[in-house]
Amino acid sequence: MKEESRRVVTKNRPISVGKADLGGDWELIDQEGNKKTNSDYKGQWVILYFGFSFCPDVCPEQMEKLVEAVDRIDDDKSLPNVTPIFITLDPDRDTPAHLGRYVKEFSPKIIAMSGSKEEIARAAKAYRIYYSAGPKDEDNDYIVDHSIISYLVNPDGEFTEYFGQNKTASEVFNGCKDHMERWNKQHGISVPKVSTAKG
């Protein structure tokens, strides 16, 4: 009876079609102090990660993992390059110049983004990122609690996939590779690698 009940429920379950309602327009400032929008990266594959530079452990671990995945993608001649973008959730401390120094410790490929609190809030809302600054200690230091997710965005600027904290660099690489190959096939793109300018 249990099996029959499961079969009926499965048969009558609505099929979800379409994409998750994630992503959208944002306007921020890169580490060079230039205004950038999501439209500046149309035509490129992008991986977005939201974090903050004063994070003691999780963000550095995620950044190292993403850099490893990005390097593997860029080294694979059958795949297009991918642009990694780090968006701060702590604009009070993470100025563009400070972020520039921070991301350089991980890879020169990473583009860092800051902005006003309102601009950061809009970008985070578009990707449904939760974040909240904790109480300040005696040194005026604090931690920002936040969602730990990276987002793959396709050349049309559309959200394609997300990778949680538990994903390894290999899993991120394989996920990106799968989506890129599918994209190329759908758009009739053959494989010779074309270098894309970063930034």
3-state secondary structure the chain: CHHHHHHHHHHHCCCCCCCCCCCCCCEEEECCCCEEEHHHHCCCEEEEEEECCCCCCHHHHHHHHHHHHHHHHHHCCCCCCEEEEEEECCCCCCCHHHHHHHHHCCCCCCEEEECCHHHHHHHHHHCCCCEEECCCCCCCCCCEEECCEEEEECCCCCEEEEEECCCCHHHHHHHHHHHHHHHHHHCCCCCCCCCCCCC
pTM of the full predicted structure?
A: 0.84
Q: How many residues can be counted in the chain?
A: 199
- Asked whether 168 and 61 are in contact (CB, 8 A), the reply is no
Percent of the chain with pLDDT over 70: 85
Q: pLDDT (tens digit, 9 = 90+) per residue, 46-85?
A: 999 999 999 999 999 999 999 999 999 999 999 999 999 9
CA–CA separation, 195 vs 106, rounded Å? Answer: 21
10 Å CB burial of residue 136 (0-12, 13-18, 19+) is exposed
Inform me whether the pLDDT recorded for 93 exceeds 50.
yes
How many Cα atoms sit within 13 Å of 8 on the Cβ side?
5
- Asked whether 129 and 162 are in contact (CB, 8 A), the reply is no
Average pLDDT value for residue range 118-132: 96
How high does pLDDT run on average in the chain?
Answer: 88
Give me the pLDDT at residue 139, please: 85
Which domains are assigned to the chain?
20-186 (3.40.30.10)
Give me the pLDDT at residue 62, please: 96
Residue of higher predicted confidence among 9 and 100: 100
Average pLDDT value for residue range 95-122: 97
Give me the pLDDT at residue 109, please: 97
Inform me whether the pLDDT recorded for 120 exceeds 90.
yes
Q: pLDDT (tens digit, 9 = 90+) per residue, 1-36?
A: 545 544 444 444 443 344 567 888 999 999 999 999
